[in-house]
Amino acid sequence: MQNGRFHIFTVAAALAAVLVVMSLGVRSQSQSSNSQPNVKPTVRITERRISTGTDPSPEFIEAAERNLNLKNELSWTFGGKQQRGWYLYDPLIRQTLDIDNESPTHDFTAALSLWQRQSGLTSDGVLNEDTLMSLISNWQTNRLKNRTAATPDQLITAPASEFYDPSRFPELRQVERNTYAAYKEMLAAAVADPSLKLEQTASGDLAPSENFFKIISAFRSREYQEELRRKSPNAGSAGLAVNSPHFTGRALDIYVGGDPVDTKDSNRLIQINTPAYKWLVRNAGRFGFRPYFYEPWHWEYVK
């Protein structure tokens, strides 16, 4: 009897040992394929998809395909004008979603879906009219809020050499003081960035022969703005605003390529692809400047 019981215990102990070894084997296998064994599988997959872009779900593949089409074809309205696609805002969208220019389409879709969720939208990763309007509202909210006209003591006259058109009259070269100081700081950073290959003087200033980053227009008086509106009556509300941020002296039109201030899609397509514009999208915020999404050249100092 004793021997029999001992035998049963031995068999049971051996079986238990085998089971322990087997479960350890399974454990170590799952650990070697994944470094976070304690995270719930659903969470883990979502995080991996967003951070590395691998293994996109069928929904994201479908969303990425729809985005490829909507990027050029989405029909929407802004400033009383029919607009087509959102490709002109691609650099700003990518900056807002915090993804680089080269990210594959399913990375874009994943990042957009996250942004949509944070913004209370349907997080399907599709950049439709609803989502575009939310992005635009986000950019517009970040612009200059106080549009009180600058008083003369708030303005300084910038040197003619810093303007795209150096023959501009002194009264058209006025800039709000702090805006000008921030612009000079930003300009120094741009000139010092070798990737931009800006022509510079021996002392490290922007060379007179360089057009990129020069000021096209800054402070405008109400009278001058009215004159511009009279000259260009078809510009519409997306063009020359009645209550222009340029009255404050805190709005700068900066040369980013192409025809300096032409909103034609073909012109803006040239502008959004210049290294100067892409640099501004990435860096202007550090110096207190915010974009006006519709005009690649227009930047507002909001500090």
Where along the sequence are the contacts to Zn ion (CB under 5 A)?
Answer: 253, 298
If the CB atoms of residues 144 and 196 are measured against Zn ion, the closer one turns out to be 144
If the CB atoms of residues 107 and 253 are measured against Zn ion, the closer one turns out to be 253
If the CB atoms of residues 176 and 253 are measured against Zn ion, the closer one turns out to be 253
Closest CB 164 distance from Zn ion, rounded Å? 13
Q: What is the rounded CA–CA span in Å between residue 265 and residue 89?
A: 11
Q: Helices 265-272 and 275-283: crossing angle, nearest 10°?
A: 70
Closest CB 97 distance from Zn ion, rounded Å? 25
Closest CB 125 distance from Zn ion, rounded Å? 33
If the CB atoms of residues 70 and 254 are measured against Zn ion, the closer one turns out to be 254
Which among 117, 56, 127 is positioned nearest to 87, based on CA atoms? 127
Which neighbouring-strand residues pair with 76? 83
Q: What is the rounded CA–CA span in Å between residue 140 and residue 137?
A: 5
**Could you report how far apart the first and last alpha carbons of the chain are, in Å?**
91
If the CB atoms of residues 70 and 252 are measured against Zn ion, the closer one turns out to be 252
Q: What is the rounded CA–CA span in Å between residue 270 and residue 259?
A: 9
Closest CB 298 distance from Zn ion, rounded Å? 4
If the CB atoms of residues 53 and 291 are measured against Zn ion, the closer one turns out to be 291
DSSP of 213-247:
T-EEE----HHHHHHHHHH-TTS-TTTS-SS-GGG
DSSP of 129-159:
HHHHHHHHHHHHHTS----PPPPGGGEEEPP
Q: What is the rounded CA–CA span in Å between residue 132 and residue 97?
A: 12
Closest CB 95 distance from Zn ion, rounded Å? 20
CA angle 90, 45, 128 (to 5 degrees): 30
If the CB atoms of residues 106 and 298 are measured against Zn ion, the closer one turns out to be 298
- The closest residue (CB) to Zn ion is 298
Closest CB 292 distance from Zn ion, rounded Å? 7
For the record, the structure tokens of 136 come out as: 């635009």
Phi-psi group of 253: left, alpha or beta (phi > 0 → left; psi -120 to 50 → alpha; rest → beta): beta
Closest CB 224 distance from Zn ion, rounded Å? 13
